Amino acid sequence: MKIAEVKSLLVNRYLFVEITTDTGIKGVGESGAWGFLDASKEAIDLFGEYLVGKDPLQIEHHWQYLYRCWHFRGAAIMGALSAVDIALWDIAGKYHDAPVYELLGGKVRDKARVYYHVGGRNLEEVVANLKEAKEEGFNAVGHLSPFLDSSRSVPYFEPYSKKIGDAVDNVYAFREAVGRDVDLCLELHRRLNPAEAISFSKQIESALPMFLEDPTTPDNFDSTALIAAKTNIPIATGERFNSLQDFAMLMKRDGVAYIRPDVCMVGGITAAKKIAALAEAMDVLVVPHSPLSPVSTAACLQISAVIPNFSLFEYTGDDKPALSERYGSTGVEKGVRKKDVVSRTFACKDGFMELPDIAGLGICLAENAAEKYPYSKRYMQTRVSVDGSVIDQ
């Protein structure tokens, strides 16, 4: 069996790869470089020049060959490598007529806990959405910002006391809305410097959040480790990391309790399994990052099935539009739901998602998806302060 074609596909807000063999087996993967999909597509196309004619089952060898050629990496390149790797595992599962998780050692659980996305432009909206999520059976909610989902298009300024004080009040309002029956996974979107994050975290400890995600920018591991050392709330981070070494360096500093590898960014299923094993050795739990299409969800499910230190993973809702559209981006066709771009999705009940028993990933793209749902480019929009300087959000 040889690889006959590697085809990159921009669909709606997503970038996929379809790899077809000379036996007709087809695998699908997704790139997690959602901010730079055009660049990632070029990397996929370049990788395809190497892959055509090769044995698709030599997954680890192909991973090493592509990763170590020239030793460049970064979001666009690693997103491309991830997409290719996921597609090769899909082919392997179909070739052996087994779910991917059976090839990874077999499942250690029968279903995977999820946290559901909850947001809103004001506190009233968030509280209403929290109550709705609880009524629908979810026992964990995330992407939950104490600073609310304010638009990047509006210049920002708040005095420190109002910024931190209002966020603290919002956290306690979240807890009051759902009681102790729902875990709160707080998402700070890298908005605070270390001192602000430490101050904020100390004031919300009694609200018992499950974790504090991305309290500061991902660039300085020592900053995140400092925050972790000064708070009793577990820190979660890693969605923008794109190598095993990134996770290793932060865990070595005791800077994280929950790592957030994105299977579509860190190097696919091959790398995600290694990252999870490293975390297991260091008593760190894994919360896979999955804000993309149901192809990403399918890949996350394979990893979630086989790692003992899995905690829960991200579920944005298959009947919702792409995440980038929901939070203020423009130019994408309205009404395209995540489930429209694929052949099937996976049932979620009482806060847990089924593990597919279908060969491979258990999913493929909808017929003519690229033609039905044309690509809409994501344009840059960095938030600025009222004084014109750039701020993090």
Question: Which of 62, 117, 143, 289 is labelled catalytic?
Answer: 289
Give the amino acid at 156: Y
Concerning whether 71 is annotated as a catalytic residue, the answer is no
- Cβ atoms 289, 266 nearer than 8 A: no
pTM of the model: 0.96
| Single-letter amino acid code for the residue at 142 | G
10-residue mean pLDDT profile of the chain (393 residues): values are 98 97 98 96 98 98 97 95 99 98 98 96 95 97 92 92 97 98 97 97 98 96 98 97 97 98 98 98 98 97 98 94 59 75 95 96 97 91 95 90
CA distance 83 to 88: 9
133, 3, 141, 131: which is closest to 59 by C-alpha? Answer: 3
d(CA 17, CA 308): 29
- CA–CA separation, 323 and 296 (whole Å): 13
pLDDT given at position 329: 44
* Residues in the chain, total: 393
Domains of the chain, with CATH numbers?
Answer: 3-99 (3.30.390.10), 102-361 (3.20.20.120)
Q: Which two tokens stand for residue 188?
A: 């700070």
Identity of the residue numbered 153: S
Q: Within 152-267, where are the H helices? A: 160-178, 194-203, 221-230, 244-252
Query: Which runs of consecutive H residues, i.e. helices, occur in 71-155?
Result: 75-96, 100-103, 123-135
Query: What gap in Å lies between CA 248 and CA 250, rounded to an integer?
Result: 6
**What does the pLDDT read at residue 324?**
61
> How far is the C-alpha of 218 from the C-alpha of 220, rounded, in Å?
6
Dig out the tokens for 5 from the structure.
């074609």
Q: Active site includes 117?
A: no
